[in-house]
Amino acid sequence: MARKLADQGISTALGRPHDIYLLLSLMRGALIFGRFGGNTGRGQFDLDLIQKIQKTASSMHFLHDEGAFYYKNEYESAVKRIYPEEYFSLPFLKKVYFWGDRQRAVFDKTYEDCDLSVIGAPRLDYLRFLEAQKKSRKHDSKDFKPGIKYVLVCSRFAGISPAKDDISLISKNFLDIRMQAEGSSGVSEGELFQQQVKRWCAVSIERAQFIDAVYSLARSNPNTQFLFRPHPGEDASLYRSIYRFLGNVTVDKSGDLSQALEQAKLFIHSESTSGVEAAIIGVPSINFSPRDTGDHAIAGASEVGAKVRDFTELEMAFKRLLAQSRASLLEDAELLFPYVKNSKSEFNAIDEICEDLNGHFRKDKTGFKFLGSGLDRDFFFYFSRKLFYSMKSLFVKVGREDKITGFDKGFIFEQWSSIGGNDADISIVSGITFICPKR
């Protein structure tokens, strides 16, 4: 998206929410694209961020990165939890994007100054772009080497074994998030926490079954290479310990899933939305779902690929799908369409969003400029916080990996170059990636 915007003369700053807050304090007339800092957008930091957006005469186009796939038995409440409807009528929020009609239908109101629009998931467009690139390299180069093929395995159990900057299903932070979104309905903290404990226990059992099934599969297929990729928000140390004596299993969560999918001949997961990404580029997938009780399935994503409940069914599907070169996308696209519009390739979320953002700057009369009046108390609070954690990271190297392990400067420059970007148009300063129009 940043590359396309640069081609249209628009500069982009990419960074973590707290870094963007500091940058926004020095600007006027900026446009924020993406989600809030917290999952629900209702925490104290996000209230401060909204105040800063309004104070700097800036605006926001909202898109949540967890925009479509939730448990069937709590779909509407999950959508309302991460899309803060109470902000839809505030002047700073100009646009709210939904992945599909299924989420948009949860909100039955219309808003005078905020457009609610269904556009799809930008990441799926990016995956199609990478797939087209790979096909082009294969066609254009006689020396093209596809690399080592492997079975890709992804876990999704961050809720019970989180990375150091994520939260557990039974943590106070997660309970606070739910209270922010659901407390007004009259439900008590105790009732919500009881639900969280039940979910934590159920997911713990699922993880044990998933680990055991994958271990047995890898052990019985020593000539097949397996790449085990924990969820970005999940601590990887347990998996490294468990699989360390299996020479055909590598545990690695670095980089982006798109790179791992490029060389995958088969994808195994457990009720993960990554199965949707595999389907988009035609990688056959297996969904290991031992509970299979209907309500606990992920709406939309659970139906993609082969669904199995135990090791016996996993092994059967494994042998059958390895003999299948590519997965058929037609049926999956129809299943996914209500949840993510651009599951059908004729729709492109990135192009539509870029057109909207460009249109905003064409009609917005607020002059963009840098200013110093934003250096208020809140700015110095968040700046001091950033400085403290930066200094701490220099001296303290303990604890679990964080969610962005592997996303260093080298990786970012490599990704920029892979989409045809020029090194002169990108810079990384204090954790923020700046992308400017071509010079």
Greatest mean pLDDT among 209-218, 276-285, 292-301: 209-218
pLDDT for 200 beyond 70: yes
Which pTM was predicted?
0.85
Q: In 3D, which of 228, 275, 4 has the Cα closest to residue 124?
A: 275
With pLDDT > 90 as the criterion, what percentage of the chain qualifies? 42
- Kindly give, in sequence order, each residue whose CB lies less than 8 Å from that of residue 178, ignoring residues fewer than 6 positions away: 81, 192, 196
Say which residue the tokens 């055991």 belong to: 212
pLDDT for 398 beyond 50: no
With pLDDT > 70 as the criterion, what percentage of the chain qualifies? 85
Greatest mean pLDDT among 70-84, 232-246, 365-379, 414-428: 232-246
Q: Which residue has the higher pLDDT, 137 or 310?
A: 310
pLDDT of residue 100: 95
pLDDT of residue 373: 55
For residue 97, the one-letter residue type is: Y
Q: In 3D, which of 271, 206, 211, 210 has the Cα closest to residue 246?
A: 211
Question: What is the distance between the alpha carbons of residues 348 and 313, in angstroms, rounded to a whole number?
Answer: 36
pLDDT tens-digit map of 155-182:
989 889 888 767 888 988 888 878 877 7
**204: enclosing H helix or E strand:** helix 189-220
Q: What 3 state SS string does 173-193 have? A: HHHHHHHHHHHHHCCCHHHHH
pLDDT for 101 beyond 70: yes
**377: enclosing H helix or E strand:** helix 377-395
pLDDT for 208 beyond 90: yes
pLDDT for 192 beyond 70: yes
What band does 186 get if pLDDT is binned at 50, 70 and 90? confident
Tokens of 119: 């556009």
* Sign of the CA dihedral running 18, 22, 23, 24: positive
Cα of 186 vs its chain's centroid, Å: 31
Task: Specify which residues 229 forms β-bridges with.
Answer: 154
Helix-then-strand count for the chain, H and E? 16, 15
pLDDT of residue 187: 84
pLDDT of residue 95: 96
Q: What is the mean pLDDT of residues 352-379?
A: 74
Question: What is the distance between the alpha carbons of residues 423 and 426, in angstroms, rounded to a whole number?
Answer: 6
Cα of 333 vs its chain's centroid, Å: 20
Q: Could you tell me the CA-to-CA distances from 111 to 4, 91, 95, 115 in Å, in that order?
A: 29, 10, 10, 7
- Kindly give, in sequence order, each residue whose CB lies less than 8 Å from that of residue 201, ignoring residues fewer than 6 positions away: none
For residue 240, the one-letter residue type is: R
Average of per-residue pLDDT values in the chain = 85
Question: What is the distance between the alpha carbons of residues 271 and 70, in angstroms, rounded to a whole number?
Answer: 10
- Kindly give, in sequence order, each residue whose CB lies less than 8 Å from that of residue 353, ignoring residues fewer than 6 positions away: 1, 33, 61, 63, 97, 119, 122
Tokens of 37: 């800092």
pLDDT tens-digit map of 288-341:
988 756 666 788 888 788 899 999 999 999 999 988 766 566 677 788 899 999
Greatest mean pLDDT among 11-20, 174-183, 319-328, 396-405: 11-20
- Helices 17-24, 377-395: axis angle to 10 degrees equals 140
Q: What is the mean pLDDT of residues 23-51?
A: 90
pLDDT for 216 beyond 80: yes
